[in-house]
Amino acid sequence: MDRRTFLATGAAFAIGAQPKPAPTPTQFQIACMTLPYSRFPLVRALKGIHSVGYKYVAWGTSHKEDDGKDVPVLARDATPEKAKELATRCKDLGLETVMMFSGIYPEAKDGLEVLTQRLKQAGAAGVPQVLTFGHTKGGNRKLWVERFKQLGPIAKDNNVMLVVKQHGGETGTGEACAEITKEVDHPNVKVNYDAGNVLDYLNKDPLPDIKLCAAEVRSFCIKDHRNWPKSEDCGPGFGEIDHYKLLHPVAFTGLRMPLACENISAPLLPRPDKPEDVDTLAKRAREFLEVVIAGLQLPTGK
């Protein structure tokens, strides 16, 4: 071997021996939905969520206000300016809004119009994701794909992502939802993963399922579930779902990914009748998820 060959071989070996760059951790945004506080006024929900350490919030559906009436967090026909005002209220309380409910099934008669308005509301408010899902008895896949293809460009124009989660029926698994989003083939139409719904509605283990759709997942509705001693949804860590295994397939995507706590309840116990007790459950859910994420994303060798 001459000197030139020796040097070239050595250089090639050195290049090949370079360590691979460390994977980029997912920026999980642990949020609490206002939904667990639906029996109390919206402003109390926002203050409670912030008081127990959350930086992020997801808008639920409605809240019982001081006059005893259930009032939508944001009406489906509200102007984009109203959405912006609500987002500003949240910011003033120290919360960044990362997700909002669409409040309509994609196959509904006025589904296209309402989802379009929701995307415009979210765009004006700076809310990055609008959540939708199908009826528990199934949906019209062909119509979903058709409408999502129309909504994708609208979502992009508003800098928003439309995410679809599992809700029983034909779209009860992440795999089924991912098949739809892949057929739509638009970067602003992706999957939200709800492990509790997969176990609840279909009695199907969500852990193998999420591996089949992880590449399409852009957020989570955090909800655990128990089948024993009775079937009921609950807060993360209270149920039968291993959240280490659940989040592992998406722990190093480099993306921002909201984890919106939709259910924070304790199994077997009655629903809290005081907002302070909801605060306690919300804090526990946040702390549990923080521990899980810290462990999953611990640098190699630590």
- Look at the block and give the residue holding tokens 């639920």: 60
Q: Give the architecture (CATH level 2) of 26-296.
A: Alpha-Beta Barrel (3.20)
pLDDT computed for residue 301 by the predictor: 41
| pTM of the entire predicted model | 0.92
CB 63 within 8 A of CB 51: no
pLDDT tens digit at each of 302 positions of the chain: 555 554 444 544 455 556 677 889 999 999 999 999 999 999 999 999 999 999 999 999 999 999 999 999 999 999 999 999 999 999 999 999 999 999 999 999 999 999 999 999 999 999 999 999 998 887 789 999 999 999 999 999 999 999 999 999 989 999 999 999 999 999 999 999 999 999 999 999 999 999 999 999 999 999 999 999 999 999 999 999 999 999 999 999 999 999 999 999 999 999 999 999 999 999 999 999 999 999 999 986 44
- Domain residue ranges in the chain: 26-296
pLDDT computed for residue 47 by the predictor: 98
The set of residues, in sequence order, having a beta carbon less than 8 Å from that of 110 and lying 6+ positions away, is: 104
pLDDT computed for residue 16 by the predictor: 54
Torsion angle, CA of 286/291/296/301, rounded to 10 degrees? 150
Q: Indicate if the alpha-carbon torsion angle 249, 252, 254, 259 is positive or negative.
A: positive
Burial zone of 301 (CB within 10 Å; 0-12 exposed, 13-18 middle, 19+ buried) = exposed
pLDDT computed for residue 13 by the predictor: 46
pLDDT computed for residue 12 by the predictor: 46
CB 62 within 8 A of CB 38: yes
CA distances from 169 to 30, 134, 165 (A): 28, 8, 12
Closest CA to 56 of 294, 282, 291: 282
